[in-house]
Amino acid sequence: MKDISKLEQNIGVKFKDKEVLTQAIVHRSYINEHPEFKLDHNERLEFLGDAVLELIVTEYLYNNFPNPEGDLTNWRASLVNGSNLAKVSKDIGIDDFLMMSKGESKDSNSKARQYILANAIEAIIGAIYLDRGLEASKKFITDYILSGLKEIIAQKLYIDAKSNFQEKAQEKMGVTPIYKVLESSGPDHAKIFKIGVYLDKELVATGVGTSKQEAQTEAAKKALKNKNWNN
- Which entry of 50, 131, 214, 218 is annotated as an active-site residue? 50
Q: Which one of the listed residues 3, 95, 122, 218 is annotated catalytic?
A: 122
The DSSP H or E segment spanning 32 is: helix 28-33
Largest CA distance in the chain: 60
- Annotated catalytic, 8? no
Residue 155 DSSP symbol: T
Tell whether residue 122 is among the known ligand binding residues: yes
The reply, when asked if residue 46 is annotated as ligand binding, is yes
Closest Cα to residue 214, out of 128, 86, 92?
86
- The answer to whether residues 42 and 120 touch, using CB atoms and an 8 Å cutoff, is yes
Q: At what angle do helices 82-92 and 69-80 cross, to 10 degrees?
A: 50
Asked if residue 161 lies in contact with residue 221, where contact means CB atoms within 8 angstroms, the answer is: yes
Edge to edge, what strands does the sheet with 202-209 contain?
178-185, 192-199, 202-209
218 is catalytic: no
- Binding positions are 46, 119, 122
- Binding positions for Mg(2+) are 46, 119, 122
Q: Which amino acids are annotated catalytic?
A: 50, 122
